[in-house]
A and B are shown apart, each in its own frame.
Chain A
Amino acid sequence: MDVGFSSLRSEAVGAMRMALVSAENLQLTLKPEPSQEEQALTNSKSSIKETHKAGNEDLKEMLESNKESLKLEAMKRVVGLISKGKNASELFPAVVKNVASKNIELKKLVYVYLVRYAEEQQDLALLSISTFQRALKDPNQFIRGSALRVLSSIRVPIIVPIMMLAIKEAAADLSPYVRKTSAHAIQKLYSLDPDQKEQLIEVIEKLLKDKSTLVAGSVVMSFEEVCPDRIDLIHKNYRKLCNLLVDVEEWGQVVIISMLTRYARTQFTSPWKEGATFDENNDKAFYDSDSEEKKDQAEAKPYIMDPDHRLLLRNTKPLLQSRNTAVVMCVAQLYWHLAPTQEVNIVTKSLVRLLRSHREVQYIVLQNIATMSIQRKGMFEPYMKSFYVRSTDATHIKTLKLEILTNLANEANISTILREFQTYVKSQDKAFAAATIQAIGRCATNITDVTDTCLSGLVLLLSNRDETVVAESVVVIKKLLQTQPTQHSEIIKHMAKLFDNITVSMARASILWLMGEYCDRVPKIAPDVLRKMAKTFTAEEDIVKLQTVNLAAKLYLTNSKQTKLLTQYILNLGKYDQSYDIRDRTRFIRQLIVPNEKSGALNKYARRILLAPKPAPVLESSFKDRDRFQLGTLSHSLNTKAAGYQELSDWPAVAPDQSVRNVEVIEPVQEWAPSVGKTKKSGKPKSADKFYSDDEEEKEEEGSESSKDSSSSSSSSEESGSESEEESSEESEKTSSDSGKSSSGSEKSSSESESEPKKKKKTKKAPQKKSKPPAAFSDSDENGNGPVAQASSSSAESSSGSETDSEDSDPPATPQKKKKDVKSKPKAEVKSKVEVSLLDLVDFSPAPTNAPKSSVISSSLLSDLEGLSLSNISSTIQVTTPSFGPVKTYELLHHMTGKGLSAKYHFPRQPCLYEPSMVAVQVILTNSSDHSLEEIHIGERSPAGLNIHCFNTI
């Protein structure tokens, strides 16, 4: 596709040159006007300009000179100025004159300039508009495209109507490139004038139907920007988008996948089993909102995934192999949010692969893995070694890897992880070493087996030479001790000894807090520490002072004999502290613990207040709450809701109507039916019962009619093929209100039509008319099921999930190209259609001819031929036309070499009567010799893998 695209672009360059020639004429007409205005403007400005630096002045002269090379040189310098962020707006009049220059390079640079400054010089910018308007009508697609691109980039509100018109026209353009450009222009216009929303949505709706891979990504992008909430626009295009996905360019894939993720969450039911640990919240919410009854129902009923849901998962899976990291991440998040629990694992490998990409990519991917690994350890555990930290990693990468390793830790691997952590603690990157100690603390609380090991390891770290390491260890030990305060007085004593050497305030404060909290376990040491603190109180940091006051208060309550004076001294120091926080706290503590007349009641509870058992802090991942955001989004990365973030909705309790996604197929049928009704069958009965009974009666007599009727009836009888089943339901919806009845009735009719006349007439009819039924018929043995499925698969290559081989269906594919010739001679072909349908009727259930095929064409033509009522009819006919083409005959044996016997063969493209998988070959033997030939038969040696149905010896 890339190559194709590139060749198109190269054409564009050539075509540009052509366009410029034509644009030259335009310039002649334009010139008088702008130059007058420009002169006026430049005159008025000249006074100001003189004060400016001379550089711009000579640029202006160069631009106004007659020499192309000078102009080009000037424009290059101007673009240089723009790129440096310098102001070059005063050159606008001089530059805009060159908008219709025939020099392509110059013109490009003028475009660059125009797009940059048009907003500031709106009046002058208008002068260039007509150039673009003219180019929009150019026969060359790339000139139309680039004209629209620049036109829509000029942010001048006054041209909104012109842009609107141009977009609408371009959206119906025959060239996918131009349609792509129009999809981009939609966003630009929307940001320029949001009032145009309604009209733009119409254009988006139209473009969403587009089948080109080039357009898909861009139009979904504008959908996301303009009307992300109009999910109803997606229904009809859902299957098409899924099927196109692999071939869309990579950036478009990202946009489409994230949109489809959101879509799927609104349309399908949860594939996550009840009771699964994964995302319990969702399930709960699901049941809370439901009645008890429903819950029972849901539990009893096994979950069956919607085929469309499956389609999405299946079609995105290959993209995990994309080289574009954004695409891989996007698929990964799609699986995370949409796939059944057991299938999510397939993304692991690809995500780990992304870790070998650039640093910034690693950063984002690691963030996402961190969130995932909290909920699903198993996913990443086999790849644990990929998260080992390298000394060359950036700090933020290191901390993320650490986070993930901690999340992955369990009883089995904790020893390996702790060993790894030991090396990290020694790292020269102290911030990282501190983070490692925190991580060890988390492991210790999460896995009770290793708590003691971790604790002793951390205590060892207390004698580390590095201050930050020691401080961090103290803080973590404090938290650990809190979780299990029993029998750790040894450690507290050890820390008290270290107290003098620790200078980091957080660590000092932590030790003081520990002393106070567990002062009953270290009754001798605690007052001593307080004594030391009293000495250095004034020199301490605020946080240490606060904890000193705390310690003093607690000791006063438990051991007032020894510490009463010390406490009072400290409270006095605190009373006159510079920090109001400390003065405040001191005042509070004094009132609380020291009994006096005023503080009656509270005083009694002082002990209970200060020495109440405190809940242990929970050491948990900072990524704990990130799963509220969709993975891979900016919001997830920042952990705050970014502007324009679209919430991922919860699964619906009951799946919305699935058939909304079928609409694509039914639409053309609806168009088609009335037109036929008018022309041929005015008094067509409306009710289903009648309709079908009618059908049965009329069938034998009125070929064309009944074929049409039974086409719908037979298609409604389909049961297995997913696509055809849906078709049938629509069809029956269309023709009758009661689909159940109709399908039962139709089944009869179709089976009848098949069984009776089939064998008898087949042999006769086929040669009688040279026309061949569409190739789809070869599959018809399967109770009429084949043709429908096949036709639909060929019709909407994208929309059907059926696996039917569409190779045979070349005829239905060709009409797109030939449709124009067909229109010119519709009459002749109406006849042929009748014939074909007669044939259909006799041989098979006639389903394939009409409904599905008309849908093929009309959906593909929709954008181009809308409003042409004939097109639908002719398209039906179109399908059959190839069969009337001359049969290509191949010579097998020339009569000279065959001594009078010549053999020719051709492929009649008829269904083989013996087996659907066989191909019929018609061999014509002509005997031009005098001898008569006998015993003609097929030789024994048939090549392997070839199955020949032998005919009897003639």
Chain B
Amino acid sequence: MIHSLFLINHAGDIFLEKHWKSVISRSVCDYFFEAKEKAVEPENVPPVLQTPHHYLISIYRDKLFFLSVVQTEVPPLFVIEFLHRVADTIQDYFGDCSESLINDNVVTVYELLEEMLDNGFPLATESNVLKEMIRPPTILRSVVNTLTGTTVFAEIQGVIEASVRLTGMPDLSMTFMNPSLLDDVSFHPCVRFKRWESERALSFIPPDGNFTLMNYHVSSQNLVTIPVYVKQNICFFETGPCGRLDITIGPKQTMGKTVEALMVTIHMPKAVLSANLTATQGNYTYDLATKVLVWDIGKLNPQKLPNLRGSLSLQSGAPKPEDNPSLNIDLKIQQVAISGLKVSRLEMNGEKYKPFKGVKYLTKAGNFQVRT
């Protein structure tokens, strides 16, 4: 199965290697670097590559490449899923997944990798199991027992993330007010499929710590309410190297809650040299190299709508950009799950003590794109 793993940073340096079978020379990565050169953007590197003697399966995450080498037929998703688990585990242990953190904790990372695979076959990938064997550098043991639900991706998908700190073998069952909303779900392995099928209740004995209990998808018949509206006007003049930009954002359906962490990202056409704008709220930055305009608004004030306007200057001589760039909008709404999903109750059996329970709803814009 998985033969070796190389961790490669953004610049293309291999900063960690681990072999589960005999050693494979790191020169095998050259094929990968070749593909990386060709792809220009790191996101565009094909996840599966073929070399004369090996197959390279890689993921790109947090500005790092996790490159695994396999020699024989194996479901590629198997490897990809595993690599993401490795990244998740590192994140879980050290709070972030970055080169410097991995270098600082290289021994722990190495031991983790040793424990996660045996002869290339996953052995222990559950974070709570791993933590029993290899201590994370700082042990944060919260006394509170909480179960937190977060709704990520307003449009259609949600995640229930659980943070469980319960001793013993608590048998939890969680029910929803409106399970019919859930169109499609996937579960952590601890959830019993049978109970879900028969009663639409989540019944499980949770592992300790943070984990994703369930992913769900809300059927598209229940029309998704979009919390904000956008008025935008971007145009480039036919004559002269300049253009205009005018964006206003206002609340639409927020269920009485404030929209927070509002941010607009625009990938400008290559020809745009600089932007001279004024924002009534928040700050904007324009990165000349990547041509990305970021407008960080923060809280949305319904009385005074944030507005960003000004002029764009274009490279002289360059033709007018063909199309207008699309806007990506990020936002968060606390205490409300836009899908309307509500947790009805959480019960615990099998243990005597009284747990602390809590639910937190959160709406986030996942991939909110405004085409212009």
Which residues from chain A sit less than 8 Å from chain B, CB to CB? 1-3, 5-6, 9-10, 12-13, 76, 79-80, 82-85, 108-109, 112, 116, 119, 149, 152-153, 155, 181, 184, 187-188, 191, 218, 221, 246, 249-251, 254, 258, 318, 321-326, 328-330, 349-350, 352-353, 356, 358-361, 363-365, 385, 390-392, 394-396, 423, 426-428, 464-466, 632-635, 637-638, 640, 642-646
Residue from B71, B76, B206, B269 having most chain A Cβ neighbours under 10 A: B76
Q: Which residues of B contact A642 (CB under 8 A)?
A: 55, 72-73
Within 8 A of A (CB), among B65-103: 70-78, 80-84
B 180-196 binary contact with A (CB < 8 Å = 1; else 0) = 00011111111001101
Question: Are A6 and B128 CB-contacts (below 8 A) given A349-B184, A356-B157, A426-B323?
Answer: yes
A3 touches which one: B41, B169, B183 (CB < 8 A)?
B169
Q: Which residues of A contact B84 (CB under 8 A)?
A: 358, 360-361
Residue from A184, A360, A361, A391 having most chain B Cβ neighbours under 10 A: A360
Q: Which residues of B contact A3 (CB under 8 A)?
A: 128, 169, 190, 205-207
Q: Do B75 and A322 touch (CB < 8 A)?
A: no
Q: Which residues of B contact A249 (CB under 8 A)?
A: 189
Is B43 close to A, CB under 8 A? yes
Q: Which residues of B contact A9 (CB under 8 A)?
A: 124, 129, 132-133
Q: Which residues of B contact A1 (CB under 8 A)?
A: 189-190
Residue from B1, B14, B83, B107 having most chain A Cβ neighbours under 10 A: B107
Chain B interface, DSSP helix/strand/loop, else mixed: mixed
Q: Which residues of A contact B185 (CB under 8 A)?
A: 321
Given contact pairs A9-B132, A191-B21, enumerate 5 new A-B contacts (beta carbons under 8 Å).
A323-B215, A326-B82, A364-B48, A392-B367, A640-B50
Residue from A187, A323, A385 having most chain B Cβ neighbours under 10 A: A323
Q: Do B75 and A329 touch (CB < 8 A)?
A: yes
Q: Which residues of A contact B30 (CB under 8 A)?
A: none
- Smallest CB gap from B134: residue in A: A108
Question: Are A634 and B187 CB-contacts (below 8 A) given A3-B169, A83-B109, A325-B81?
Answer: no
Q: Which residues of B contact A638 (CB under 8 A)?
A: 48, 50, 55
Q: Chain B's nearest CB lies how many Å from the CB of A333?
A: 8
Q: Which residues of A contact B177 (CB under 8 A)?
A: none
Is B229 close to A, CB under 8 A? no
Q: Chain A's nearest CB lies how many Å from the CB of B199?
A: 14
Q: Do A254 and B132 touch (CB < 8 A)?
A: no
B 11-42 binary contact with A (CB < 8 Å = 1; else 0) = 00011111101110010000000000001010
Q: Do A361 and B270 touch (CB < 8 A)?
A: no
Q: Which residues of B contact A324 (CB under 8 A)?
A: 81, 189
Q: Do A633 and B126 touch (CB < 8 A)?
A: no
Q: Which residues of A contact B114 (CB under 8 A)?
A: 112
Is B153 close to A, CB under 8 A? yes
Q: Chain B's nearest CB lies how many Å from the CB of A133?
A: 20
Question: Are A364 and B50 CB-contacts (below 8 A) given A84-B15, A350-B184?
Answer: no
Interface size on B, residues (CB 8 A): 91
Q: Which residues of B contact A83 (CB under 8 A)?
A: 16-18, 106, 109-110
In the assembled complex, the Cα of A353 lies from the Cα of B218 at a distance in Å of 11
Within 8 A of A (CB), among B290-330: 319, 322-323, 325-326, 328
- Smallest CB gap from B206: residue in A: A3
Q: Do A360 and B47 touch (CB < 8 A)?
A: yes
In the assembled complex, the Cα of A363 lies from the Cα of B153 at a distance in Å of 20
Top 6 A-B pairs, shortest CB-CB distance = A644-B72, A426-B323, A318-B193, A360-B47, A251-B122, A326-B77
Q: Do B369 and A390 touch (CB < 8 A)?
A: yes
Question: Are A187 and B119 CB-contacts (below 8 A) given A258-B75, A326-B81, A359-B43?
Answer: yes
Q: Which residues of A contact B122 (CB under 8 A)?
A: 251
Q: Chain B's nearest CB lies how many Å from the CB of A327?
A: 8
Q: Which residues of A contact B360 (CB under 8 A)?
A: none
Question: Are A323 and B133 CB-contacts (below 8 A) given A251-B121, A359-B60, A361-B80?
Answer: no
Question: Are A364 and B124 CB-contacts (below 8 A) given A321-B187, A353-B215, A391-B326?
Answer: no
Q: Which residues of B contact A640 (CB under 8 A)?
A: 50
Q: Do B73 and A188 touch (CB < 8 A)?
A: no
Q: Which residues of B contact A246 (CB under 8 A)?
A: 193
Q: Do A634 and B74 touch (CB < 8 A)?
A: yes
Which residues from chain B sit less than 8 Å from chain A, CB to CB? 1, 14-19, 21-23, 26, 39, 41, 43-44, 46-48, 50, 55, 58-61, 70-78, 80-84, 106-107, 109-111, 114, 118-119, 121-126, 128-129, 132-133, 153, 157, 169, 183-190, 193-194, 196-197, 205-208, 212, 215, 217, 220, 267, 269-270, 319, 322-323, 325-326, 328, 367, 369, 371
- Smallest CB gap from B323: residue in A: A426
Q: Chain A's nearest CB lies how many Å from the CB of B174?
A: 16
Residue from B114, B185, B194 having most chain A Cβ neighbours under 10 A: B114
Q: Do A119 and B22 touch (CB < 8 A)?
A: yes
In the assembled complex, the Cα of A564 lies from the Cα of B338 at a distance in Å of 75
12 contacts between A and B (CB under 8 A): A5-B124, A13-B132, A83-B18, A184-B118, A254-B75, A328-B186, A350-B184, A359-B59, A390-B369, A464-B322, A638-B50, A638-B55
Question: Are A391 and B207 CB-contacts (below 8 A) given A187-B119, A638-B48?
Answer: no
Q: Which residues of A contact B22 (CB under 8 A)?
A: 119, 155
Q: Do A358 and B72 touch (CB < 8 A)?
A: no
Q: Chain A's nearest CB lies how many Å from the CB of B353?
A: 17
In the assembled complex, the Cα of A633 lies from the Cα of B70 at a distance in Å of 13
Q: Chain A's nearest CB lies how many Å from the CB of B119?
A: 5
In the assembled complex, the Cα of A646 lies from the Cα of B16 at a distance in Å of 33
Q: Chain B's nearest CB lies how many Å from the CB of A580?
A: 29
In the assembled complex, the Cα of A364 lies from the Cα of B319 at a distance in Å of 38
- Smallest CB gap from B87: residue in A: A358
In the assembled complex, the Cα of A515 lies from the Cα of B249 at a distance in Å of 54
Question: Are A466 and B73 CB-contacts (below 8 A) given A2-B129, A79-B110, A84-B16?
Answer: no
Q: Which residues of B contact A396 (CB under 8 A)?
A: 44, 46
- Smallest CB gap from B81: residue in A: A326
Q: Which residues of A contact B16 (CB under 8 A)?
A: 83-84
Q: Chain B's nearest CB lies how many Å from the CB of A571?
A: 39
Q: Do A318 and B197 touch (CB < 8 A)?
A: yes
Q: Which residues of B contact A155 (CB under 8 A)?
A: 22
A79 touches which one: B106, B128, B197 (CB < 8 A)?
B106
Q: Do B121 and A218 touch (CB < 8 A)?
A: yes
In the assembled complex, the Cα of A79 lies from the Cα of B114 at a distance in Å of 12
Q: Chain B's nearest CB lies how many Å from the CB of A390?
A: 6
Q: Do A390 and B367 touch (CB < 8 A)?
A: yes
In the assembled complex, the Cα of A321 lies from the Cα of B128 at a distance in Å of 22
